[in-house]
Structure 1
C-alpha cells in the first residue's frame, strides 16, 4: 500500500531528473537481532545498537540504546568485539553475515520494508515505438509482482537458515510491539513536522487506503 501511495509522488520527482520508475521490489522486512530475548523496548536500554542511517540513530536513542555506525561488511567483527550488541536488519543480511556466530535471538518485528526502484531514462523510453513501450511496461509489472513474491520467499528461507544454524526465532511480544509502535509514532510526528507537502500527501493517501 505504501508503494502505491508513494509512486505518483516519486514519479513526479524523478521526472524532474529525466527519469521514470519502471518497478519497485522490496527487501525482506527488517527484524531485531540480539543476544537474549527482547520482551519490551526497555530491554534495549543501554545496549550498543548498530545504526547505519539517521532514522536508526533516532530509533536507538528513543529506545534508550547507544547508536553505533557499523557497515554491513563489519557486522561479525563488531559483534564479536563488543562494539555493538543489537541490530535491526533483514533476514538476508542476518543469514549472509552468519548471525548465529555472534547472536542468539532474532525477532521478526517487521520494522520497515526498504525498496529498490528500477529506473529508465524517460527520453529514451519516449522514443520507443508505442508497442515497445507497452511491452516494457508489461514486463515491468510482471517483474514487480514476481519481485514482491521473491522477497517474501527470501525472508522465509533466510529465517529458516538462521533457525537451522541455532538462532532462536521469537515472535515479538505484545509489550514489545506496543513499545515499538510508540517510538514509531514519535518518529512519525518528528518527520511530519519537517516533511514537504508532497511527502505529507503520501502519508495521507496511505492512511486513506
Structure 2
C-alpha cells in the first residue's frame, strides 16, 4: 500500500466518522399563525427548546411565527403534505372537514377552564382519530382565554349588533354572527386593526389575549366579558416525519408536548386576568353581560349545540354524553 493511498484511506475514514453525527441531525421548520408576544407562541418556543435540549441538538425545531412561513389557512395542509413537518393551527378552523373539530367553539357548552378541560378529555381521542386518518399526529392542544365581545358602543342585547359587520374566524363564529343578526366577515388575527380602521368590521368576539396583541383600545371601547367558549390551538406533526424519528427522539417530542400542554393551560388561565386588566388600563370599559344579553346568548348556545349534534351524528352525541357525565 502506498503512502499516498494510505493517507487517502485514513482521510476518507475520518470524513465518514465526522459525517455520522450530521447525518443523524434533523431540522424541522414549524409555522405558527401568531406573533411572538402571544403566549401560545411563547409556549411553542419553549417546546422547541425542550426538544432540542432533550435530543442533544439531534432534532431542532425552528419556529416561524406570525404566519411568516405559511399563512394560517395553509398550515394544516402544509404539515399534511410534509412541506413543514410540524405546525400550529386553531382546531376549529378544520370544522368544515369534520364537526368534531368545532366542539370547543360551541358557545356556552364549556365556558370555564374546568369545563374546557373536561371537554378536551372527552373529545381528544376522536380528534386524534380524525387527524390520524389524514396522516397527522396530535402533539398537544392549549386553549385561548374565554371569548368575549369587543364593540365600539355598549351592547345590552343582540339587537345592538343587528346588521353590524362582525369578525369571524371559523364556522362557529360565522354562525354566531348570523344568529345575533350580524354580518360575518372572515378576518385573520393579524388583519384585525386594519379591518376595523377601514370599516370592514364593526365588532368581534375573541380572547383578551388577541384584544391586547391587536391593541383593541385603538378601535373599540367596550369589552363585554361573555367568556362564551375557550377555543384551542393544536400542535400537529406529519405522522410520516414523526414515525421516521429514532425512538428516543419521538419520546423526547412526546414528553416536551405533554409539558407544553400542561404549561400552556396554566399560561392561558393566568393570561385571562392579566389581559383584561391591560384592556382596562388602556381605557376600555369592561362590563359583565346584561341579563338580557346573557339570556339571548344562552339561547344561541343551545341552538348551536343542537345544530352541532345533528351534524356530528352518533359519535358527537357520545362525546357530549361523556363530557356531561364528567361535569355533573
> Which TM-score bucket, shorter chain as reference?
0.7 to 0.9
Change (3 A) 1:16 1:48: closer
Q: Unaligned 5+ residue runs, structure 1?
A: none
Distance in 1, matches of 2:187 and 2:253, equals: 39
Change (3 A) 1:122 1:70: closer
Structure 2 residue 124 is matched with structure 1 residue 7: yes
Q: How far off its partner does 1:42 sit?
A: 2.4
Distance in 2, matches of 1:12 and 1:81, equals: 42
Distance in 2, matches of 1:73 and 1:22, equals: 25
Aligned ranges for residues 84-103 of structure 1 at < 5 Å?
84-103=201-220
**3-state secondary structure, aligned to 2:141:** strand
Structure 2 residue 176 is matched with structure 1 residue 176: no
Which residue is 1:41 aligned to?
A: 158
Structure 2 residue 265 is matched with structure 1 residue 148: yes
Which residue is 2:174 aligned to?
A: 57
Q: Tell me the alpha carbon deviations over residues 21-41 of structure 1, each in whole angstroms, 9 at most, x when there is no partner.
A: 232111222110011221222
Distance in 1, matches of 2:246 and 2:191, equals: 44
Q: Unaligned 5+ residue runs, structure 2?
A: 1-117
Q: Tell me the alpha carbon deviations over residues 120-162 of structure 1, each in whole angstroms, 9 at most, x when there is no partner.
A: 4556459755x77666544433321111010112222222221
The TM-score normalised by the length of structure 2 is 0.57
Structure 2 residue 233 is matched with structure 1 residue 81: no
Distance in 2, matches of 1:158 and 1:206, equals: 29
**3-state secondary structure, aligned to 1:106:** strand
RMSD in angstroms over aligned alpha carbons?
Answer: 2.4
Structure 2 residue 311 is matched with structure 1 residue 194: yes
Distance in 2, matches of 1:24 and 1:96, equals: 21
Which residue is 2:322 aligned to?
A: 205
Distance in 2, matches of 1:14 and 1:74, equals: 28
The TM-score normalised by the length of structure 1 is 0.86
Q: Which structure is larger by alpha-carbon Rg, 1 or 2?
A: 2
Structure 2 residue 184 is matched with structure 1 residue 67: yes
Distance in 2, matches of 1:110 and 1:201, equals: 25
Which residue is 1:16 aligned to?
A: 133
Distance in 1, matches of 2:147 and 2:281, equals: 19
Distance in 1, matches of 2:303 and 2:138, equals: 31
Structure 2 residue 229 is matched with structure 1 residue 112: yes
Distance in 1, matches of 2:229 and 2:268, equals: 13
Which residue is 1:162 aligned to?
A: 279
Distance in 2, matches of 1:126 and 1:174, equals: 55
